[in-house]
Amino acid sequence: MDSLLIEGGVPLRGEVDISGAKNAVLPIMAAALLTEETCVIRNVPNLSDVRFMGRILASLGAEVKIEEGTVQLRAARIHGRGDYELIRKMRGSVCILGPLLARLGVAEVSLPGGCVIGSRPIDLHLKGMEALGGVAEIKGGYVVVRVGELVGNQIFLGGRVGPTVLGTANVMMAAVLARGRTVIESAACEPEVVDLATFLSSMGAKISGAGSPTIEIDGVPALGGTTHDVIPDRIEAATFAIAAAATRGEIEIRGLRCEHIGAVLDKLKEAGVPFQRGEGSLRVNGADAFRPVDVTTQPFAGFPTDVQAQMMALMTLTDGISVITERIFESRFMHVSELARLGAEIAIEGGATAIIKGGRPLSGAPVMASDLRASAALVIAGLVADGRTDVKRIYHLDRGYERIDEKLGKLGGRVSRLRET
Ligand code: EPU
């Protein structure tokens, strides 16, 4: 498995372009199953998760062409049983459930895996499919959902910790071809849900309210092909902003939408990180000293769980006590023990709260990436730490950050990939 070798202590400087959003492109690729016609998706990041989703769609019979920045999909003749092993390996693949059910009346999907961040149930996805008339059962490790005809309904999708992003995507994708009107209440408001709604609308779907907690969908008999540009990756943008601040560098982040990272910018401001918002750009400067902050992760527009680990890395550099409360996922503190190897002082209380006693200098060490965003936090800490940090198992990073070693290298970071044969 590849590792990332980082020689810390160099401030990041220069300009970086943000790629298309991983978490937008995955459901959009799945949505192409809803039509026999060709869909072209542009501004697609070159990520292993995207290639993986391509393999899953191909295993269902779709023609998939992935080229530099573009995915072309044609699902003329497909079947409803996804490849067990492929689907099991990627959590995002659960979003083929809705489109398969809508298109074929049957979907067989192995129980999804993905990052090691809690149990990640799919009960809300199934609640939604059942509300539309689907009948679900678990058989041989597969979730099998069947329906004679999907019929629109009122569906409350709020769960234990609030809305579900991919659950909302799944129900939306099933409802676009259902008979009559579906109203999703407590829908996820994430920009990726809005991007999916934009894609579906350009295929001919009738959707209103995406981006708010109530989404209304009037089913149509069929959808057609389309061309779509994916939104920029807000989590990548936030990661670079934090990396610039942490290294006390000065970078310009281009091609992002600042309104998608409002909560992160608010916390950076509170922490004393100077930045200027531009039109589709953000300039971040590292301050000499930061202030500690308290962060609680929330559904959009709150502070994203996908930036929690990176923020923690920044807080380890800040004199004083910062508190981070993770409210979306259980067990999303895998980075804590690895940050400790670099010298960070962090205590976990009650499973969901991390207390960070910041300000101790970090020093490089071999660390293990455990999930995508935990890996990003280790990279940020490694960029600051004195000496060499060896981040092992970076396939997690390659799932979600396009060419991160190259992008950091262009900003002056001393980062190299060690390929293991
Ligand atoms: N949940 C349930 N039942 C369900 C579905 C979710 O209880 O049926 C719970 C989850 O266990 C969790 C909460 O609801 O506690 C929110 O989970 P959600 O369903 O919103 O997460 P997701 O849709 O599976 C997406 C992103 C994640 C991101 C979350 C939250 C993709 C492919 N994944 O996951 O991204 O953290 O939304 O914003 O879109 C990442 O990119 O690193 C990543 C993990």
Ligand 1, atom 20: closest residue by C-alpha: 164
The CA distance from 331 to 334, in Å, is: 7
pLDDT, averaged per 10 consecutive residues of the chain (421 residues), comes to 94 98 98 98 96 96 97 96 85 93 94 61 95 94 94 97 96 98 98 98 98 98 98 98 97 98 98 96 90 97 98 97 96 94 96 95 94 96 98 92 97 94 70
Strands 281-285 and 250-254: antiparallel
Hey, whose CA ends up nearest to atom 2 of ligand 1?
121
Provide the domain limits for residue 139.
22-228
Residue 297, both tokens:
């992760």
**What's the pLDDT score for residue 116?**
55
For the question of whether the overall pTM of this predicted structure is more than 0.95, the answer is: yes
Ligand 1 atom 17, closest CA: 164
What pLDDT is attached to residue 420? Answer: 81
User: β-strand 250-254 against 13-17: which pairing, if any?
Assistant: parallel
Q: Is 115 annotated as catalytic?
A: yes
Domain count of the fold of the chain: 2
Last residue of a domain, one of 168, 194, 228: 228
Last residue of a domain, one of 208, 228, 248: 228
Question: Coil, helix or strand for 272?
Answer: coil
Q: Are strands 3-7 and 414-418 parallel, antiparallel or unpaired?
A: antiparallel
Cis ω on the peptide bond leading into residue 263 (within 30° of 0)? Answer: no
CATH number at residue 73: 3.65.10.10
**How far is the centre of ligand 1, averaged over its atoms, from the C-alpha of 285 (Å)?**
32
| Ligand 1 pocket mutation pick from 87, 120, 264 by most atoms within 8 angstroms of CB | 120
Are 346 and 340 a contacting pair, CB within 8 Å? yes
Check whether residue 312 and residue 399 sit in a common domain.
yes
Q: Are residues 301 and 401 in the same domain?
A: yes
Which residues line ligand 1 at a C-beta cut-off of 6 Å?
Answer: 23, 26, 91-92, 115, 118, 120-125, 159-161, 164-167, 188, 305-306, 328-329, 372-373, 400
Q: Give the position, in ligand 1's atom list, of the atom nearest the Cα of 118.
A: 11
Domain final residue, candidates 203, 228, 253: 228
Closest Cα to atom 36 of ligand 1: 306
Tell how far the Cα of 386 is from the centroid of ligand 1, in angstroms.
Answer: 35
Secondary structure (3-state) at 243: helix
Q: What is the pLDDT of residue 119?
A: 66
Q: Whose CA is nearest to atom 37 of ligand 1?
A: 165
Ligand 1 mean position to 326 CA, how many Å? 13
